[in-house]
Amino acid sequence: MSEPQAGIFVEGSHSHFFLEYKLIDGVSTAQLKEALAKAIALSDAGVNKVWAFGADCWRSIAPGVCPADLKPFVAVGEGKRIAPATQQSILLWVHGENHSANFDAAMAASTALASVAILRLEKIGFLYKDSRDLSGFIDGTENPTGRGQQLVALIPEGEAGAGGSFVLSQQWVHNLSSFHALSQSEQEAVIGRTKPDSIELDDEHMPENSHVSRSDVKINGVSQKLYRRSVPYGGVLEHGLYFLAFSCDIRRFDHILQSMFGVSGDGIYDHLTDFSTPVTGNYWFAPSAGELSAIGSL
Ligand code: HEM
């Protein structure tokens, strides 16, 4: 049994750091592995760390065990409604209850990587109320629970990358004043759920362009389920959702994004994209715990 990185499944953390690094030009694979092995081996009590890698980076580290489907993120959409691609090389997600300990862990890992990679994006995330997005809606209601989390998130035994996971990350910037200018029932029509208690609207009241309608996608009878771990980030000047999701199949992300951005065939786009805008987009591979700890000896 290939054990996943445990931090993927630890829920409810109050403090989050999302760090995206770009490899420095000219760094050799041997240099990269050496620095990564040191950064990964750092021990930080009480801190959850999840490591993931862009396609080019992981293929150079572990060519023999890389899942064939792993690919860089490519922009989705057309015209002004676009989910842009900003593919970087390494993602480190640090989370837990102790913000000071998370800060120290993020600093230590970044110092260990400094000779091989530049920190290109940093978002500080936090738990908002009872797991709500800053729009005020509960985020994660339809997430799988129990054993279902691993079935949805992990590549099965026997396949390349078993125990690992495909990951999508996107920084979304909210326009909260325009969203909050809507009445509560208009906001609920944008999301497709009630605001206080996250009950799905019935068929009669569910718009075809609600977020639920556009993200609840079935392909050939298979529900394109994800294990979402997004949290809000930011402060008063800029804020939104750091969208983070794990999947056993990278194509699920493609299908849902195409549906949200109006390029899945029916021309309908997700009304949520009128109130929030993605400004980054990356696909990653989060290897199993075993493959991660073997990086120094690969
Ligand atoms: C600003 C960005 C986003 C916000 C604020 C947001 C918020 C929400 C909320 C409030 C729900 C309903 C409650 C729940 O089931 O969790 C939801 C559901 C969902 N979202 Fe998002 N979301 C965002 C972006 C995305 C993206 C980019 C994807 C996928 C690529 C996605 C996939 C899903 C899925 C699969 C569901 C469950 C649908 C169902 O089966 O009912 N979301 N989201």
- What was the pLDDT predicted at 297? 81
Query: Rg of the chain over CA atoms, in angstroms?
Result: 19
- What was the pLDDT predicted at 220? 95
- What was the pLDDT predicted at 1? 72
CA nearest ligand 1 atom 5, residue: 133
Please work out whether the CB of residue 241 comes within 6 Å of at least one atom of ligand 1: yes
Tally Cβ neighbours within 10 Å of residue 80.
7
Task: Name, in order, each residue with C-beta under 8 angstroms of 163's C-beta and a sequence gap of 6 or more.
Answer: 1, 2, 3, 4, 154, 155, 157, 287, 288, 289, 290, 291
CA nearest ligand 1 atom 25, residue: 243
pLDDT digit string, tens, across residues 172-209:
999 999 999 999 999 999 999 999 999 999 999 999 99
pLDDT digit string, tens, across residues 113-125:
999 999 999 999 9
Q: How far apart are CA 40 and CA 108, in angstroms?
A: 10
Is the model's pLDDT at 296 over the cut of 90?
no
pLDDT (mean) for 250-262: 98
Catalytic positions, written as ranges: 139
**Which DSSP string corresponds to the chain?**
--PPPGGGG----SEEEEEEEEEPTT--HHHHHHHHHHHHH---TT-EEEEEE-HHHHHHH-TTT--TT------EEETTEEE-----SEEEEEEES-HHHHHHHHHHHHHHHTTTEEEEEEEEEE--TTTB-TTS-BS-TT---THHHHHHHSPPTTSTTTT-EEEEEEEEEE-HHHHHTS-HHHHHHHHTB-TTT-PBPPTTT--TTSHHHHHS-EETTEE---EE--EEEE-SSSEEEEEEEEES-THHHHHHHHHHBT-SSS--B-GGGGTEEE---EEEEE--HHHHHTGGG-
Atom of ligand 1 nearest to the CA of 170: 27
Ligand 1 centre distance from Cα of residue 211 (Å): 7
Atom of ligand 1 nearest to the CA of 198: 13
CA angle 79, 223, 164 (to 5 degrees): 90
Please work out whether the CB of residue 226 comes within 6 Å of at least one atom of ligand 1: yes
| pLDDT band with cut points at 50, 70 and 90 for residue 64 | confident
- What was the pLDDT predicted at 271? 98
Ligand 1 centre distance from Cα of residue 215 (Å): 6
Mean residue pLDDT across the chain: 97
Please work out whether the CB of residue 223 comes within 6 Å of at least one atom of ligand 1: no
| pLDDT band with cut points at 50, 70 and 90 for residue 85 | very high
Mutate to test the pocket of ligand 1, among 228, 269, 273 (most ligand atoms within 8 A of CB): 228
Atom of ligand 1 nearest to the CA of 193: 12
pLDDT digit string, tens, across residues 120-144:
999 999 999 999 999 999 999 999 9
Please work out whether the CB of residue 215 comes within 6 Å of at least one atom of ligand 1: yes
| pLDDT band with cut points at 50, 70 and 90 for residue 148 | very high
pLDDT exceeding 90 applies to what percent of the chain? 97
Torsion of CA 40, 45, 46, 51, to 10 degrees: 0
Ligand 1 centre distance from Cα of residue 71 (Å): 23
pLDDT digit string, tens, across residues 262-283:
999 999 999 999 999 999 999 9
Mutate to test the pocket of ligand 1, among 81, 145, 172, 215 (most ligand atoms within 8 A of CB): 215
CA nearest ligand 1 atom 40, residue: 216
